[in-house]
A and B are shown apart, each in its own frame.
Chain A
Amino acid sequence: MEVLHVTGEQLGRSQGEVHDGPLAFDLGNLLAWDASAVDAAALTANGIDPTCQRLAQSIFQSLAARLFSLPSEAVAVGRVAELPRPATVLPREKPIPKPRPPTKWEQFAQRKGIEKQKRSKVEWDESSQEWRRRYGYKRVNDETEVAVIEAKPGDLPGEDPFTKQRQDKKERVKKQQKQQLANVKAAVKAGGMAALPPTLRLAAALPEHGKGRPAKRKELHDELKSATKQAAVSTASMGKFDRMARGEQPEDRQARGKKQKFAPVADKGGVEKQQQAKLVDRILSQNADDVADLSMAITRYEASARDERYRMKQKGHNKKGRVDRIDSSGGSSKPMGGGRSGGNKGRGPSSSGGRKGK
């Protein structure tokens, strides 16, 4: 009888080649790391891609061997292996959430030993003979649902109890919101912004209408002062006959702002005559065509001539478009006007100035 030896390879089964060398595993991250140096010669000899593939295959075989030997349980879709915790520490994306610090009531309850009572969601309502919820829409004992509110001995005649109910509710809601805000602020103060619940944010807000106050003491002081002054003058007689407060001066009562000055009816000392004459002179001098001031006329002419010369020099040619000679300094010299120094290049006030005619 012959015995046939069949190898696994002949049957088409073979185990993968195992990688030799130190391997570090992080099974939680499905990571295998070969800490030995890479052989450059091997890479260049066989080509980068085939070498990488062979290396990857062998190392992955070892990794798979490790993973398959983890404790696992069979599930309908396959075999589920229980992974250990990841060994490589990677940075988180968000800070670790902190538990919310206890609110004011929670602290009090803790101190006193008060425990939360579990309450039923529905209660029996006698009036409507049905089970209604404890709070919310169509609740048990809803005081706003009654048609008639009987007057109590302490009620004032003008008061409307229905309005009072609505106002009380609004006040309670406002109080609740204020307390909630205080609790959140205390939590943020104790634990930083991480202690905020994820859905809430604290934002800067404008103060309520009519309730804002300046932050700095000096501004507040000034505002108070101006307000008291305005109040003092806001009477029928503009504060003239009202009693003075302690520390108030008569100057504070005086009306602020421009006061209209009235001249006396009879013109004493010719003041009015002077004013009128001044006015008339000014008007006439502005509109007069015949020049009274020769000096001003000369200055003006010289200034315009100076500007013209400067302009020509900058342009490098005269009005007719011809380039001036290079060695002519200061351009064309005009008979009029003070001699400009040759070196005076800037357009600043001329050193010689205009000749004043008398």
Chain B
Amino acid sequence: MAKAAEAAQTKLVAPKTKAGKRLMEKRAAKLVEDPKRALLVYGNKTSQIIKDAMTDLHKLKGEDAVKFSRNNPEMRPFEGGGEAALELHCSRNNCSLFALGTHQKKRPHNLLLGRLYDFRLYDMVEFGIRQYKSVQAFGGGAAQAQLGNKPCFVFVGDTFESDPTMRQVKSLLLDYFRGRQVDSINLKGLDRVIFVTQHPESKLVLFRQYSVRYKKSGTRIPRMELSEMGPSLDLEVRRSRQPPVDLEKEACKQPKLDKKKEKNVGSDMLDGKVGHIYMPPQDMDSVALAKPKGLKRERRKAAAGAAVAKKQRTSGGAAAAAAAGDGDSD
């Protein structure tokens, strides 16, 4: 009876192209993950401040961000079922962070930062931008800081431990800006500092970013000089959603990492990282070279001449044979 009931069939769907297969392998789950990609979208209505803020966030993320240009009125993560569109676009673009910018009378200059786990909504915090100064407003300070480098973080305040929402804010900002997970870092590349604190009276989250200049000091450790490079945000914390407990437990599980021996990688004092490329032996006499296009006509004529000569030889031979045959018959 059970066998008769098994009419629902399953089939294996494999990628049809090699490029598609490579893409899927790139997006697969890994032990040590790639930096989280961010999806930046606008909601139903936007304001100029929100647009500028999103542009800055997009630039700060560099390659790891996707920004949509249109308004998306159907994206309402705080409503039940309103996160479906967001989850869909994030899974299509392989993004696990999102920033949704909207502007309403009730919630002006609203910036919703959130995360996804396994492309399902994990948590989010809603900020209202009270004061904003873009990177461009600070002049050329940003030119000193290179984009691919990891920023340093400075958090000040005891609320980042005591208040669960502020703990979430700290975790979110760290996740958004931290970049790739690395084992070692070039000390020359410490050129950005992100400073976050909470104003004790107004409860605004103050977000500042500085670029670093190294100055001489008498010791091995140089003196750091900071100059503000932007963006400068004063954020009011509005709504937030904590992650579901079971999802949080699963997402925060860390894998056991063993040092994997990489093959064919060595390092040289002069060259740096080296590897070997193994080639099969090539026969230089019969290697296929590119044909020079300039000599096309000559080649064509030569080929035609050779064909004619060949024909003459065979027909001449046949004629000679025929003549001999006739001669014989005669």
Contact = CB atoms under 8 A, between A and B. Distances in A.
Is chain B a partner of chain A in the same complex? yes
Contacts of B200: 37-40, 43
Contact of A94 (B14, B118, B225): B118
B51 interface: no
A213 B122 CA distance: 41
Interface in B111-159: 115-118, 122, 150-158
Question: Considering residues A56, A79, A180, A199, which has the most beta carbons from chain B within 10 angstroms of its beta carbon?
Answer: A56
B223 A15 contact: yes
B15 interface: yes
Interface stretch (A85-93, A160-168, A278-286): A85-93
Interface residues of B, number: 88
Contacts of A31: 152-155, 174
Contact of B225 (A13, A57, A203): A57
B171 A88 contact: yes
Interface of A: 8, 12-16, 29-40, 43, 48-49, 52-53, 55-57, 59-61, 63-65, 67-69, 72, 75-83, 86, 88-97, 177, 180-181, 184-185, 194, 198-207, 212-217, 220
Contact of A199 (B5, B25, B183, B251): B25
Contacts of B151: 30
Interface in B188-224: 188-190, 193, 195, 197-201, 206, 208, 210, 212, 215-224
B154 A59 contact: yes
Nearest to B187: A79
Contacts, number: 251
A213 B4 contact: yes
B152 A93 contact: no
A65 B187 contact: no
Interface of B: 1, 4-15, 21, 24-25, 27-31, 33, 36, 96, 115-118, 122, 150-158, 160-161, 171, 174-175, 178, 181-190, 193, 195, 197-201, 206, 208, 210, 212, 215-226, 228, 232, 243, 248, 250-255, 272
A30 B243 CA distance: 25
| Minimum-distance CB pairs A-B, first 9 | A198-B28, A93-B96, A91-B251, A205-B11, A78-B188, A94-B29, A56-B195, A215-B7, A31-B153
A80 B183 CA distance: 10
A14 B217 contact: yes
Contact of A202 (B13, B15, B31, B248): B13
A93 B156 contact: no
B24 A199 contact: yes
Nearest to B256: A96
A60 B224 contact: yes
A13 B243 contact: no
Nearest to B172: A90
A112 to B, nearest CB: 27
Nearest to B217: A15
29 contacts: A16-B217, A30-B178, A31-B152, A32-B154, A37-B200, A38-B199, A38-B200, A40-B200, A43-B200, A53-B210, A55-B154, A56-B195, A60-B193, A60-B210, A60-B224, A64-B190, A77-B188, A80-B185, A80-B187, A90-B174, A97-B29, A194-B29, A201-B12, A202-B11, A203-B13, A205-B9, A213-B4, A216-B5, A217-B4
